[in-house]
Amino acid sequence: MEKPSSGQILPLVLDLANLPTIKGAVEELKTKVTKIEAVFFNAGVMTPPRGSKTVQNYELQWGTNVVGHFLLQKLLLPLLLSSAKSSEVRILWTSSDGHNMSPSPDGIFWDDINGDKTNLGSWSLYAQSKAGNVILAAETARRYGGENIISASLNPGHLKTDLQRHSDSIFMGLIEKALLYDARYGALTTLSAGLSNKLSKETNGCYFIPWGRVGMIAPHVLKGLENGSGTRLWEMLEKEVAQTCSVVEDILAYSALPAAQKAYADMNRTASINIQHIGTSLSSSSVRLSSETSPRLEDPGSSALLRHAHGYGYSNSDSLNSMGILTKVVTEIARTDIPTSHPTITSHVQSRIRAEYFGFVRRLPSREVCEVMYQLFFITANQIFVALDETIFREQLARWWDIAYDVLLKQGPETLPQELQCFPALIFQVIAVTLQFLPQLYDPRLDELKFGSQQSFTELSREYTDCGMELSKLLGRARTTFVGVQHSYMRSCWLVYTGDLMQAWNHSGETVRDAMAIGLHLEPEVPASSQPEALLDALWMNELRKRTWLNILVWDSSMALALGRPMFVNLKECTVTAPLDCEIPIDRLRRVPVARSEADRPTAITERLLRYKLSKRFYEIRELENEGPIPKDSEKVKELHQYALDFRKSLPCIFATTKPDTKWDADCTFIPIHRELLSYLVDAFLMALHRPYIFTREKSQLQVYQSSLGILDSQEKLFQTIRVSDKSFYMAVTFPTFDAAVILAVVLVSSPERYHESFSRPYQSLKNALDRLTFIGSIMTLAKVGADILQATLSRVVAAHERVGLSGDSHLFHTSTPPQIEDPRRGQSSASASLSPELEPWHFEATQSAMDWTMQNAGFPDFDFSNLEVPVPLKELLMDEEMAALSGVDPYDTSLWMSMQDQQGFQDISARQQPMMDTGENSLWNYLTGYPTTTENQFAQ
């Protein structure tokens, strides 16, 4: 804009999941504006937890996405009709291409809209609500088109947002790097529909698709509109909201809105309305479900003064805030010096949780069965996660059982030591994770835990982890202790193994916040004590705190890199040093912490310490990704590349990728698994580092090719190790396998000529990856989804190379010699050998280079790879919005791209508009996606 806007943004708060609040918000709106030119109904929820309901007892998606918006439009209609007398008014309903999955015959479960009778899944109910948006947009156009009101529905695109955070499916979390666009693209289609001339009286009721094109409504939904589904839905909703419009009820509900807002704050289900007076528009923002928590009491080691002032929210780990400085300067203030007129956290716990707390504790298994679980946990899961120390855990366990009975029955949980208040929640998480790692031959006493013989251990595991979470929530701020952080980290581990990566990532944010609240990210102080045992105990506890922070940081950085998510940890605020590589002994009160020597027996923490060194550099790769396909400082890429190669060379011999020292493998059964995990880590680092440059630097594409092959080789070896060892840690070979296979497929599809002569090598790796995911898919949904995607992708990879084999076109690149790949896991990998940063210059080309197809072949004009922000082939192959509307057909059948007949009753709902980014004449784009070029077939103009 040449001039700054003089408009205003005025917020109105309403809750679409509580209908009476909508009337009050509209009445307030009428006092602020007299004209509205555009309304964007874009609030929504997607696949919330099963059983979620609105205040009026609608299924949450239907009630929010459809009923709430219908009532909002109904109440706004008088103002909209008045505005339409002087200028055109537009109403835009945000739908989704998910409406294609709505039920036959017309998109609505008329006999079971809430899904209560037929036990419908969240995805089916979401698809129904999005079909409802399409139907209401078309029906609004039919009813009010003659009144100068134009309405349309739209699919904003597949975007990287938090909308999927409660999804039953993990599909979005898995393939986000390849398939989803940045959230900012979501505004393109919305603004195009709201502001461009593509929406007019002639196209009234149409459906927009990314990025601003008029697309096709799902055939069965369109057929339903022709048969009157719009009228049926409209009249049904009119009856259902009639009672809500009662004046008395509305006034009472709206007068109580502040209290209601406070009650709903924990769920964050509010929608805000922004009003702009220039080109006045109305927008209800996206509705989100979350579990944001309030500030918490932070650490039992804080002074009495800080604990008494907890309500002010001061951090106990920051000695430079006002209270922190006060406690340093004024040390004589005692608890007795402060009046006790205000309730403390102890009385809060006492009043709220005593009965419920005791009820959860009673749900723990017997001590005998728990002992079976503990033993199994520390020889299986804990060797992978390194989450707890057995010695200290058992000491806490003994303390808990010694005092729990008398305290809980006679005094209440508030009198427990603060570190032990959350301990039963930690026990629940230990049991839950252990049940995920049960071997085929397990102790039959564990069957007694089941509610019935048909209950699976998977269901039982979820029951226990949920108990831990609910008990933790009862404690509120009092749970923010070291044990509480351990509990939270264990919950993340549990979520990872279930394959719910999105929830695991979301939950890890809470874990990081709690850990930083108690100062785990800071170097712990060595306490001054004249008692040797107290001093040694403090030193060992500091080591344990450091290990916990190490695990949290490694997890946070790894998930951020893999999923393309931001890190929760700010490394600039971290001062803590790495822990020592040693076991915590049983007699730790007589021993000083000393790191083991190279000749000593490895520990489970050994691999974590090595992983920690590389993980601390992950954030630098994320920063480079934000710069796009041309880095501002190529030397930074070069330095990180060399760092990874040096790290590989420096690995201890027991973790070497070729001819490792296996003398400890029998005694330390975790070593073979850790060896492959470290091999994966190095290749994943290199793959992520070079992935943004696969279309702007030839050597970077080759590095991604080699690293992905190295990962798949390592994953195959790890898979066989896990199967032989009867350890069911298959998550370790699910996401890494899928992620590497996806990017390898991108390289093979986009550059088939380069890799054609050595195609059998990557093809076999992809086949092995598919076999692994198929095998694991029988016990893990995440793997099954990945196998289905990889199966579809593999056929496209083969097709690309078959075309190359038939045409023999190898002149597109300056060399026709395929890369000579040795096993990337043998000695110094071929990746490191072929890409020596000391010998070869690092140059990134945006125009004239071997990666620029335009310079190599005149048949590919005006295509700049540097404009690609995500790998195109898989995105267009798997998630094309327009072709998704066609069911039961092959989207790559060119016979489909013929002139389409006007659709009776909705003649203007068709794909007549040119896309906002015209790729019609771009033969390379069409080659990658398999679409016909404009010289072959087109839509009818």
Burial class (CB in 10 A: 0-12, 13-18, 19+), 273: buried
Chain-centroid distance, C-alpha 140: 36
- C-alpha distance from residue 135 to each of 210, 232, 247 (Å): 19, 10, 29
- Contact between 17 and 54 under an 8 Å Cβ cutoff? The reply is yes
Degrees to nearest 5, angle at CA 67 with 66 and 73:
90
Catalytic residue (one of 130, 160, 198, 727): 130
Question: Cα 487 vs. chain centroid, distance in angstroms?
Answer: 21
Closest CA to 134 of 885, 877, 888: 885
The CB density around residue 607, as the number of other CB atoms within 10 Å, is: 25
Distance between alpha carbon 884 and the CA centroid of its chain, in Å?
Answer: 24
Name the CA dihedral angle for 340, 342, 348, 349, rounded to a multiple of 10 degrees: -20
Tokens for 863? 């295509």
At 255 the three-state DSSP class reads: helix
In the numeric block, the tokens 């199994």 are attached to: 376
Query: Catalytic residue at 177?
Result: no
User: Could you write out the DSSP letters of every residue in 813-838?
Assistant: SS--PPP----TTSSS-HHHHH--TT
The single-letter DSSP state of residue 181 is: B
Neighbour-count burial of 168, counting CB atoms closer than 10 A to its CB (0-12 exposed, 13-18 middle, 19+ buried): middle
Q: Which of 843, 818, 838 is nearest to 700 (CA)?
A: 843
* Contact yes or no for 302/319 (Cβ under 8 A): no
- ∠ Cα 266 267 270 (to 5°): 110
Q: What is the DSSP letter of 267?
A: T
For the record, the structure tokens of 644 come out as 């990874």
**For residues 421 and 415, what is the distance between their CA atoms, to the nearest angstrom?**
9
Residues contacting residue 798 through CB under 8 Å, at least 6 positions apart:
763
Measure the CA–CA gap between 890 and 843, rounded to whole angstroms: 41
SS (H, E, C) 755-812: HCCCCHHHHHHHHHHHHHHHHHCCCCHHHHHHHHHHHHHHHHHHHHHHHHHHHCCCCC
Catalytic position from the list 52, 83, 95, 96 = 96
Please state, in angstroms and rounded to a whole number, the distance separating the CA atoms of residues 660 and 120: 52
Which DSSP symbol is given to 287? P
Q: Is 695 exposed, middle or buried (0-12, 13-18, 19+ CB in 10 A)?
A: buried
Active site annotation includes 96: yes
User: CA-to-CA distance for 649 and 37, rounded, in angstroms?
Assistant: 65
| Residue from 126, 612, 755, 927 carrying the catalytic annotation | 126
Q: 3-state DSSP call for residue 11?
A: strand
**Single-letter code of the amino acid located at 237:** L
Q: How far apart are the C-alpha atoms of 186 and 208, rounded to whole Å? A: 12
| Residue whose structure tokens are 């029951």 | 463
Within 8 A by CB and 6+ apart from 84, the residues are: 144, 147, 148, 149
Strand 207-209, strand 213-215: pairing: antiparallel
- Non-local (6+) Cβ contacts of 909 within 8 A are 203, 205, 206, 207, 214, 216, 217, 222, 903
What angle do the packed helices 532-563 and 671-690 form, to 10 degrees?
50
Give the catalytic positions in this structure: 96, 126, 130
